[in-house]
Structure 1
Amino acid sequence: MIATIDLPDLDATTALAARIASRLRAGDVVALTGTLGAGKTTLARAVIRALGHEGEVPSPSFAIIEPYDPPQVRLPVIHADFYRLKDPAELAEIGLDDYREGAALIAEWPDHAGGFAHEAGCLSIRMESDENGRRAIVEPGQDWLERGSWN
């Protein structure tokens, strides 16, 4: 069920974000991996906007966690950037489990947090960028399979 989606421009990224947002539920994780500059934050911001947020969507690289709550979005969502974590044990100090209660999580650098691919509600997206452009390699977890194809 792995799908490769070409992202030749911002409109394509916005369209993918709209598909993700329309299927996103509380408890889900959108795990974004890829090298620096591959488009993880761009996609995360587009998903948050597709959920209804109209204001600025800052990168959580310094704060690590940036929460968004209704009515500014259709469901509670946490945008997290785990790049600066040295050890997944730091998540307890941050209180990630409390933030995740009843919310969806958009996680950049999920491997720094121990990963989420083992969760049935995880949509894993590997962002790639090279001379041929950007693409998203989408691998839905079990709970995402019933929500439609990514091809």
Structure 2
Amino acid sequence: MITIVTNNEEETIKFAKKLTTYLKPGMTLLLEGDLGAGKTTFTKGIGEGLDVGRIIKSPTYTIVREYPNGKIPLYHVDLYRLTENEVPDLGLDEYFEGDGISVVEWPSVAPEDLPNNHLEIELKREDENPEKRVITLEAVGKEYEEVLEHFQND
């Protein structure tokens, strides 16, 4: 487990961008945090790191946004507006087993429909400083443990 503190949106984006150096096609990142915690901002950093060449927007209403033109395709999923019963019909396995990086916001909506192996990322706002974020990364699975190991050693 790794915990990082960022002081503003720029630092959060920079941190996420650096993380992409260690990601491989087929990996899944699960982003947890309250509304406004920075999940989409974090995903912007992933997008920058993958050179998607487009503005990353929250997929709250579209559920999935695809960014296929980067170094590795990025699939940004937001389960916030769904119930657990609606998620199986989305066909998310195609993204999780595909050639891209999948970033899932609000994974707690449907934990049974997500990959067993993944990187859990929790973002929390600091009460004293609303710009500050405490970001905790926890690996589930050997491949993800290696990502955190390489990240820490850099």
Alignment-mate amino acid for residue 82 of structure 2: L
Alignment-mate amino acid for residue 21 of structure 1: T
Alignment-mate amino acid for residue 38 of structure 1: A
Matched, 1:38 2:33: no
Structure 1 window deviating more from structure 2 (110-119 vs 139-148): it is 110-119
8 Å Cα contact 2:80/2:105 also seen in 1: yes
Per-residue CA distance 1:29-79 (angstroms, 9 max, x = gap): 11100111111111012211210022222210000011111xx21112210
Aligned residues: 146
Per-residue CA distance 1:104-139 (angstroms, 9 max, x = gap): 21000011122678623x111100002242110111
Aligned residue number for residue 19 of structure 1: 18
Aligned residue number for residue 128 of structure 1: 124
Aligned residue number for residue 90 of structure 2: 94
When normalised by structure 1's length, the TM-score is 0.86
Q: Aligned partners of 2:125, 2:100: CA distance in 1, in Å? A: 30
Aligned residue number for residue 58 of structure 2: 59
Matched, 1:50 2:46: no
Matched, 1:81 2:65: no
Where does the alignment leave 5 or more consecutive residues of structure 2 unmatched?
none
Structure 1 pair 125/25, CA: closer, same or farther in 2 (3 Å)? same
Q: Percent identity, aligned pairs only?
A: 29
Q: What root-mean-square deviation, in Å, do the aligned CA atoms of Structure 1 and Structure 2 show?
A: 2.0
Structure 1 pair 91/102, CA: closer, same or farther in 2 (3 Å)? farther
Alignment-mate amino acid for residue 85 of structure 1: L
- Structure having the higher helix fraction is 2
Aligned residue number for residue 146 of structure 1: 146
When normalised by structure 2's length, the TM-score is 0.84
Structure 1 pair 116/127, CA: closer, same or farther in 2 (3 Å)? farther
Where does the alignment leave 5 or more consecutive residues of structure 1 unmatched?
none
Following superposition, the deviation at residue 19 of structure 1 comes to: 2.1
- Which 4+ residue blocks in structure 1 deviate beyond 4 angstroms? 115-118
Following superposition, the deviation at residue 92 of structure 1 comes to: 2.9
